[in-house]
Amino acid sequence: MAWYDSAIFYHIYPLGLCGCPHENSDDAEGSHFDTLCDWAKHAEAIGCNAIYIGPLFESGSHGYDTIDYRLVDKRLGSNEDFKSWVELCHSLGMKVIVDGVFNHVGRDFFAFKDLKENREASRYKDWFLGLNFYGNNEYNDGFSYENWGGYNLLVKLNQKNPEVYNYHFDTVKFWIEEFNIDGIRLDAADVLDHQFMQKLRGVCDSLKNEFWLLGEVIHGDYSRWANKDMLHAVTNYELHKGLFSGHNDHNYFEIAHSVKRLLGICNDYRLYTFVDNHDVARIASKVNNKAHLKNIYILNYTLYGIPSIYYGSEFGIEGNKEKSGDWNLRPQLNIAEYQDAYESNPLTALCCKLAKLKADYPELTYGVYKELSLTTGQYVYARILDNCAIVVALNNSDSTAWVETGLPMSGEIEEFVIEKENMVGVEPLSGDRIKIELPPNAARIFRISRA
């Protein structure tokens, strides 16, 4: 199977993590890859085997207003620094994917600068959509254009123009040959041209074996993007929403419904699962009861998909969106301040244990999902592979619950201890049924080997 099937990602927003200036300038040079090396080692220590780092390339501000696709942002370091960092990650057994911001560019991108200077005579005018040389904007360009999200800082590219997509394809080739990256997360994939993404898939397949393409998609039928002709996976925002609201509302039906619906739509395509990221509030700020964080992370690691951890959330840090921007979601952190977290922080220790379970037991990667028992407060499911199954039983209630459930097979039951207090009763019933005692806001994980 491909490496990404069994991946556990660590997600880094480098400009925030390293405390870079929010606006780029001629004197904004930095050297932060030593810091990023320490975080890569931390990611490996908590059991991750892949890193998504981005945005990474030269931009004017937050990283998504790209100026130069082939130059590492000088606020972070140099191309050589990044190349060495990828080599370190590979030596640690971790793959590396970067942000591909192919839908739009910043206003200082070379082709747009030419457009501002030469207007209708610019050879790049067909690189951009919606040009109106009789219009204007807040920058007083004397013309208007399509943008992303209503922000004229982000100039919409014409992806149907062969020059544009060939420029992007040459960029991808450069990234692979220069840095040896292993995949790309396509920013704003839900508004990218589908033919462009199909062509990109063919180019990437020809350049590097098992090169992975992930698309940022919020809503919709994810199979429109995740399929054999286009992308390998998309961001599972539907499950992300269920993970916190299903606990805040004490409603496991929401989570279970999403799981079944997405499996029905996407079949064997593993979606990219996450509890938070650089665009949404930290999970510790979203849950009403922080005791639910444990179950949320257990679901993230054990449901069908490719789990991801956003830097700092393994420590339970908080952060809400603000009207002024998203930098509060992307804080500077010092890994030295968290060196004792592996032992002293229950959430960090849990992530380590779950990563080891996923690494040791292929059921959690390749196993077929089967719902066993479901109420608003309790949820039991299995991941079944050959003659073995992992059973996960969760309780979102503030009181102890007894759950009676069938098992996917008869055989020897081994319990994986997530927390010491979970060593409580299991009562065998007739046939392949058991009764499980679940502590408040907790879970138990079993493995069954067919007799």
pLDDT number for residue 409: 92
pLDDT number for residue 5: 97
Helical axes 237-248 vs 293-302, angle rounded to 10°: 150
- Between the alpha carbon of residue 436 and those of residues 246, 320, 402, 427, 444, the distances in Å are 22, 37, 6, 6, 9
Closest CA to 290 of 347, 374, 225, 364: 347
pLDDT number for residue 223: 98
Spatial CB neighbours of 7, under 8 Å, sequence gap ≥ 6: 49, 50, 95, 306
CA distance 262 to 326: 29
- Between the alpha carbon of residue 234 and those of residues 31, 129, 195, 244, 254, the distances in Å are 32, 25, 17, 19, 20
CA distance 72 to 262: 36
Task: Name the pTM for this structure.
Answer: 0.97
Domains and CATH numbers, the chain: 3-103+159-360 (3.20.20.80), 106-157 (3.90.400), 367-450 (2.60.40.1180)
Write out residues in the chain with pLDDT < 70, as ranges. Answer: 419-424
Spatial CB neighbours of 79, under 8 Å, sequence gap ≥ 6: 71, 72, 178, 179
CA distance 98 to 89: 13
pLDDT number for residue 416: 86
Phi-psi region of 294 (alpha: psi -120 to 50; beta: other; left: phi over 0): alpha
Closest CA to 231 of 51, 105, 102, 362: 102
Q: List, in sequence order, every residue forming a beta bridge with 345; answer none if it has no partner.
A: none
> In angstroms, how far is CA 337 from the centroid of its own chain?
24
